Amino acid sequence: MTGEQIPVAPRASNIEYAIRDVVVPATKLESEGHTILKLNIGDPIAYPGLPTPEHMVEAYVQALRDGNNGYSPSYGIPSLRSALARDEQRKGWAATAEDIYVCHGVTEALQILFAAVLCDGDKVLAPGPHYPPYMAYPQMYGATTVEYRLKPDDGWKLDLEDIKSKMDDSVRLLVLINPNNPCGSVANESEIKALLEIARNYPKCMIVADEIYDGLDFTGEHVSVASCSNDVPVVSLNGVSKVYYAPGWRIGYMALHDPSGCLHLVRDGIERMLRARLCASTPAQLGYLAGLESDRSWMKDYASKVVQQRDVCIDRIRSIEGLEVQSSGGAFYMFVKLTDPKWANDDKQFVLDLLHEEHVLVVHGSGFSPELGKGHFRIVCLPEPDVLNDAFDRIERFLIRHR
Ligand SMILES: Cc1ncc(COP(=O)(O)O)c(C=O)c1O
């Protein structure tokens, strides 16, 4: 029986998250007994070979056994805040424990930051294409997200002229995702300095530096944005999900770099929001702390596995007629261009047809930017080479069949 419907708020009914939206038809196919090759989700734990390091798991379990199951302080466990400040210092700026706010992942940090800063009519200037929450969340606070262009034929570099032309006083947050999801591009120091040069002219604007993939930089050119800024305020975002391979723990943080002392009000707003939502998970924070305080040489082995798999993807994509790709410099993504005219204008249909006919799941590029992502699809290079090869065989077969 279906009764008269209680209205839903448009802020919820309008929200989309492409990466998980395509999972709905895939789950249906699975329930019918089909096996799906999943190249869609940026979760290393969903694939074999990149488990959460044992010493971190041990610390989490030990925390539970030791009775560390209570609420933690709202801004994070002090020892974790100190360890994270030391880690940010290592990246080149004078962070203190008080600058670190621990959240339930970067995702919660974003919600809190947007809630603390954005009002009706404000803008967020974010890269196109971008990780979807940068578009989805600001609208909840009456703000809009405007995209600046990443250059599709030039390694997805920042289009600085486009950024300049779109900046005005209503832009409160200028976002850099570095390395980028979905493109896998890495902005270097000179691009970051040019970005800061632009932001410097807008005193109400701060930079959001999403550096959650910084430990997966294969160019050797990654630098933290905060380490480059002597004046412009920067909120650095990072966490346990990607580089420490524990996304299900839901722990991340924001670090406030405030060299000009202009963030006192914003900081107060953020702290109020954090207190109102109590705290992040206590045992998960202790698991993260163990990762920060132990030897991290294991990270190199993990990263080289990702690089090997990235190379398999690049070789295969470049050998398939109808596809093109820029080499990726970081993270575990690749944003593949559909040059085949049949699909170039309908990446969503490509994804759905590929799923139904060949049981390969990727994410449509327009889900990362309606304009700047269309005609592309995103893959993750996390599956093992034999799965990747199988997936590319199927993609090739699919393209040939529809030519
Ligand atoms: C750029 C970027 N930021 C943040 C996140 C989510 O981070 P967390 O798991 O800490 O919420 C993701 C996840 O895919 C991401 O790609």
Q: What is the CATH number of the domain that holds 286?
A: 3.40.640.10
Q: Which of 99, 27, 80, 56 is nearest to 359 (CA)?
A: 27
| Residue at 289 is within a domain | yes
Q: How far apart are CA 120 and CA 122, in angstroms?
A: 6
249, 271, 293: which is the final residue of a domain?
293
Query: What pLDDT is attached to residue 401?
Result: 94
Distance from the alpha carbon of residue 110 to the mean position of ligand 1, in angstroms: 10
Distance from the alpha carbon of residue 396 to the mean position of ligand 1, in angstroms: 30
Domain check: are 84 and 201 in the same one? yes
| Residue 283, ligand 1, Cβ within 6 A | no
Domain check: are 188 and 241 in the same one? yes
Domain check: are 247 and 151 in the same one? yes
| Residue at 60 is within a domain | yes
Contact by Cβ (8 Å): 253, 100: yes
pTM: 0.95
Percent of the chain residues topping a pLDDT of 90: 90
| Residue at 106 is within a domain | yes
Contact by Cβ (8 Å): 42, 20: no
Contact by Cβ (8 Å): 298, 185: no
Domain check: are 270 and 365 in the same one? no
CA atoms within 13 A on the CB side of 349: 8
| Residue at 17 is within a domain | yes
Domain check: are 239 and 322 in the same one? no
| Residue at 1 is within a domain | no
| 123-128 sheet: strands from edge to edge | 100-103, 252-257, 234-239, 206-210, 171-177, 123-128, 144-151, 157-158
Report, in angstroms and rounded to the nearest whole number, the Rg of the chain calculated over CA atoms: 21
Chain-centre distance of CA 118, in angstroms? Answer: 20
Percent of the chain residues topping a pLDDT of 70: 100
Banded model confidence at residue 22, pLDDT cuts 50, 70, 90: confident
Count, residues in the chain: 403
| Residue 177, ligand 1, Cβ within 6 A | yes
In this predicted structure, the answer to whether residue 16 has a pLDDT above a threshold of 80 is: no
264, 293, 322: which is the final residue of a domain?
293
**Stretch 170-175: mean pLDDT:** 98
| Residue 184, ligand 1, Cβ within 6 A | no
In this predicted structure, the answer to whether residue 12 has a pLDDT above a threshold of 90 is: no
Query: What pLDDT is attached to residue 327?
Result: 85
| Residue at 21 is within a domain | yes
- Nearest-CA residue for ligand 1 atom 16 is 181
Banded model confidence at residue 13, pLDDT cuts 50, 70, 90: confident
Mean pLDDT of the chain: 95
Dihedrals phi, psi of 395, to nearest 5 degrees: -65, -40
Contact by Cβ (8 Å): 217, 250: no
In this predicted structure, the answer to whether residue 323 has a pLDDT above a threshold of 80 is: yes
In this predicted structure, the answer to whether residue 19 has a pLDDT above a threshold of 80 is: no
Tell me the residue range of the domain where 150 lies: 54-293
pLDDT top residue among 19 and 225: 225
Domain check: are 359 and 230 in the same one? no
Contact by Cβ (8 Å): 69, 282: yes
Banded model confidence at residue 167, pLDDT cuts 50, 70, 90: very high
| Residue at 263 is within a domain | yes
| Residue at 176 is within a domain | yes
Domain check: are 274 and 205 in the same one? yes
Domain check: are 144 and 208 in the same one? yes
277, 293, 309: which is the final residue of a domain?
293
Banded model confidence at residue 257, pLDDT cuts 50, 70, 90: very high
Q: What CATH number has the domain bearing residue 28? A: 3.90.1150.10
The count of domains in the chain is: 2
